[in-house]
């Protein structure tokens, strides 16, 4: 059962205790948060960083409020459907270029930031999204795609010069503030702390990526989305095997960072995105996670059969 009392968002001295499932190794309850994070980083081949594990985690959590778009409003010329179409196209390009998950989330974040900062011309929307991906590649990838390659992905509707001009506009509008507490980083760290199975990790990545399509998810902190995605994935994994909901609670990891109410506020948007993914008109994320490389998690029968997910198809919790 989730912690029902609001916890400090910075978790400076708190214990992060997971009640693990019977199959994964049990995380000792006596370990402090710093020790758990350090051991998780060691298992992730981050031996050099493990000494600073708690400082890294604390810094990520401390900056979370600044990355939530409170009162987010799209520019007048851009509709919710237009934004969803852009994200769907970005997912397709991202997968085609075989880029890192962090790159996609950063690209969408930069696009959101640009949209909140001023007017956007409709004919330039695709160019905006491609340029945000170009910038994200420079920050996250070892090698960056050539501008000509991105222009080709836009069917040469824009030139290399157009893309580089848009890059300068984005940097100027955002004042070169490109840093982002990427939810992917935190999700992977938390999954390692919780000793999650590979299936749970891919399910969580699917939930998290599906939230990119939901404009209402922009008001949540990136870490809040990470915790919610991992919570849903863990529950879904065990719901298929344990029918008694009271017993299921005993297998549900306790995240002493966000309260139950804070996570429940996110669940409806993620649940809606994945339950309607197969029949949605924009299916790039669903198709991406239906591939064997992603363990076909989007077509997992447990999603459609989940009674817990179906509870959130009504009005979202405010």
Q: What is the pLDDT of residues 32-45, one digit of tens each?
A: 778 888 888 888 88
Confidence of residue 240 (pLDDT cuts 50, 70, 90): low
- Go through the domains of the chain in sequence order and give each one's CATH number: 80-174 (1.10.472.10), 183-242+250-311 (1.10.472.10)
State how far the alpha carbon of 99 is from the alpha carbons of 78, 104, 107, 134, 286, in Å. 27, 8, 11, 11, 17
Judge residue 88's burial from the number of C-beta atoms within 10 Å of its C-beta, 0-12 exposed, 13-18 middle, 19 or more buried. middle
pLDDT in tens, 276-297: 887 888 999 999 999 999 999 9
Name residue, tokens 């817990």: 308
Is 211:94 a contact under the CB 8 Å cutoff? no
Mean pLDDT throughout 167-193?
Answer: 92
pLDDT in tens, 142-155: 999 999 999 999 99
């Amino acid at each position: 059962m989730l912690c029902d009392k609001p916890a400090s968002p910075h978790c400076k001295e708190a214990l992060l205790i997971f009640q693990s499932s019977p199959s994964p190794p049990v995380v000792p309850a006596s370990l402090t948060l710093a020790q758990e994070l350090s051991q998780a980083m060691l298992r992730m081949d981050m031996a050099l960083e493990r000494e600073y594990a708690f400082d890294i985690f604390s810094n990520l959590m401390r900056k979370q409020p600044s990355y939530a778009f409170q009162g987010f409003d799209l520019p007048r010329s851009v509709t919710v459907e237009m934004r969803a179409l852009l994200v769907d196209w970005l997912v397709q390009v991202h997968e085609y270029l075989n880029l890192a998950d962090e790159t996609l989330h950063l690209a969408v974040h930069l696009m959101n930031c640009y949209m909140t900062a001023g007017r956007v011309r409709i004919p330039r929307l695709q160019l905006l999204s491609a340029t945000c991906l170009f910038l994200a590649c420079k920050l996250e990838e070892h090698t960056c795609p050539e501008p000509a390659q991105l222009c080709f992905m836009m069917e040469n509707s824009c030139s290399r010069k157009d893309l580089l001009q848009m890059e300068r506009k984005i940097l100027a509008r955002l004042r070169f503030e490109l840093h982002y507490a990427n939810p992917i980083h935190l999700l992977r760290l938390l999954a390692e702390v919780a000793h999650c199975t590979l299936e749970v990790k891919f399910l969580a990545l699917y939930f998290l990526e599906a939230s990119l399509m939901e404009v209402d998810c922009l008001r949540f902190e990136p870490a809040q989305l990470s915790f919610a995605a991992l919570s849903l994935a863990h529950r879904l994994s065990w719901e298929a095997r344990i029918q008694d909901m009271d017993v299921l609670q005993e297998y549900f990891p306790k995240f002493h960072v966000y309260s139950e109410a804070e996570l429940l506020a996110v669940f409806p948007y993620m649940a809606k995105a994945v339950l309607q993914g197969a029949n949605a008109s924009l299916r790039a994320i669903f198709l991406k996670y239906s591939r064997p490389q992603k363990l076909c998690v989007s077509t997992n029968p447990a999603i459609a059969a989940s009674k817990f997910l179906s509870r959130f198809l009504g009005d979202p919790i405010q």
